[in-house]
């Protein structure tokens, strides 16, 4: 997929990226900075992977030791990038940030992620994913951001069995609290679009992986365990498939959507962003084994609560909108991920 020339003039469109120390947010920040946008990153820097978050920040020229809560820190790598340590549930300071900066575009990626933990701590997900998103929506309205793009998830398809998943399908049967909060985000965005004419675009991501990826996701879990000669847990006896999507394809789609602009009649939109092809779990594990040059020790287990057996994205609407076609094969994506993992963890 060839990159399109950007319509926005350099350094005139101000973009806020929430979750900027997160996996997708980090990669998006780098891409937008290189394209000349004036970018502000925001992240609470909470969670269990502080070392990885700090490494992502460092790669964008932000050093964790300098951070003060609520204070913008200038990047030492990108002159058009600054970062603020801030929690999206902190309504007062979120409003101050928007008031002082007047963002044209908001890319909202901050959230509590992961199905498993949402079953154990649903209150955390409601606070961050629902209350936090409410603060972002209201800040966009109050301070007149032109556009909001926000992360949803393939998990909203829940108990749906008809594949490939289309955004036209009903999504009223979530099977995890994480999925329920993401569906709530879509409903809230729709209401704000209807009531206040906010241009809001929801992005249903499908199993994103790549360098600096999340440690709670299968590619990272399997690579780490196999590298350390530990047993990997294979649920539903391996009879699962996922529409794995390489992070560069995700970032490319977001930047192309920003470039595509908005049409007046399309106030509220939803798109699937996936690889467009389900991959069998056992085949995925074999690919990791190949690039690690090690065999996995497998423990086969029943399906877990909240898990979807299969995911498969219909990406035709996104292709029609921006010419999106995922470029990175699972073979190539896993090779790049394993190479990064070995370099990062030695």
Q: Which residues are catalytic?
A: 178
Closest by CA position to 172, among listed 150, 162, 187, 188? 187
**Residue count (the chain):** 346
What residues form DSSP beta bridges with 232?
A: 298
70, containing H or E segment: none
Phi, psi at 174, each rounded to 5°: -65, 150
Name the token pair of 214: 């999340």
CA–CA gap between residue 117 and residue 126 (Å, rounded): 12
Closest by CA position to 185, among listed 134, 238, 240? 134
Name the token pair of 36: 């000349």
Name the token pair of 303: 């399906």
Closest by CA position to 322, among listed 242, 266, 244, 243? 266
CA–CA gap between residue 171 and residue 153 (Å, rounded): 11
Cis omega before residue 164 (within 30°)?
A: yes
CA–CA gap between residue 52 and residue 246 (Å, rounded): 18
CA–CA gap between residue 339 and residue 266 (Å, rounded): 41
CA–CA gap between residue 184 and residue 182 (Å, rounded): 5
């Amino acid at each position: 997929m060839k990159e399109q020339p950007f319509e926005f003039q350099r350094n005139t469109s101000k973009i806020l990226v929430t979750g900027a120390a997160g996996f997708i947010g980090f990669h998006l920040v780098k891409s937008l900075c290189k394209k000349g946008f004036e970018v502000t990153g925001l992240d609470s820097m909470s969670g269990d992977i502080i070392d990885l978050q700090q490494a992502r920040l460092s790669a964008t020229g932000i050093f964790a030791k300098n951070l003060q809560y609520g204070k913008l820190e200038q990047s030492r790598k990108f002159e058009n990038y600054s970062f603020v340590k801030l929690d999206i549930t902190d309504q007062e300071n979120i409003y101050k940030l928007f008031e002082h900066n007047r963002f044209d575009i908001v890319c909202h990626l901050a959230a509590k992620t992961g199905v498993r933990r949402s079953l154990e701590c649903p209150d955390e997900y409601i606070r961050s994913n629902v209350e936090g998103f409410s603060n972002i929506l209201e800040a966009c309205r109050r301070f007149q951001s032109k556009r909001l793009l926000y992360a949803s998830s393939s998990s909203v398809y829940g108990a749906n069995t008809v594949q490939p998943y289309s955004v036209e399908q009903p999504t009223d049967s979530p099977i995890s609290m994480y999925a329920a909060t993401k569906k709530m985000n879509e409903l809230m965005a729709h209401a704000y679009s209807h009531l206040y004419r906010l241009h809001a675009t929801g992005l249903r991501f499908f199993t994103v992986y790549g360098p600096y990826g999340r440690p709670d996701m299968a590619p990272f879990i399997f690579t780490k365990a196999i590298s350390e000669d530990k047993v990997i847990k294979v649920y539903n006896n391996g009879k699962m498939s996922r529409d794995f999507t390489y992070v560069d394809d995700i970032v490319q789609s977001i930047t192309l959507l920003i470039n595509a602009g908005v049409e007046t009649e399309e106030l509220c939109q939803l798109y699937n962003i996936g690889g467009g092809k389900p991959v069998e779990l056992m085949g995925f594990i074999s690919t990791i084994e190949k690039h690690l040059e090690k065999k996995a020790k497998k423990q086969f287990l029943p399906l877990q609560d909240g898990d979807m057996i299969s995911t498969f994205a219909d990406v035709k609407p996104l292709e029609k909108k921006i010419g999106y076609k995922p470029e990175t094969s699972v073979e190539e994506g896993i090779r790049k991920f394993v190479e990064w993992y070995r370099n990062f963890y030695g």
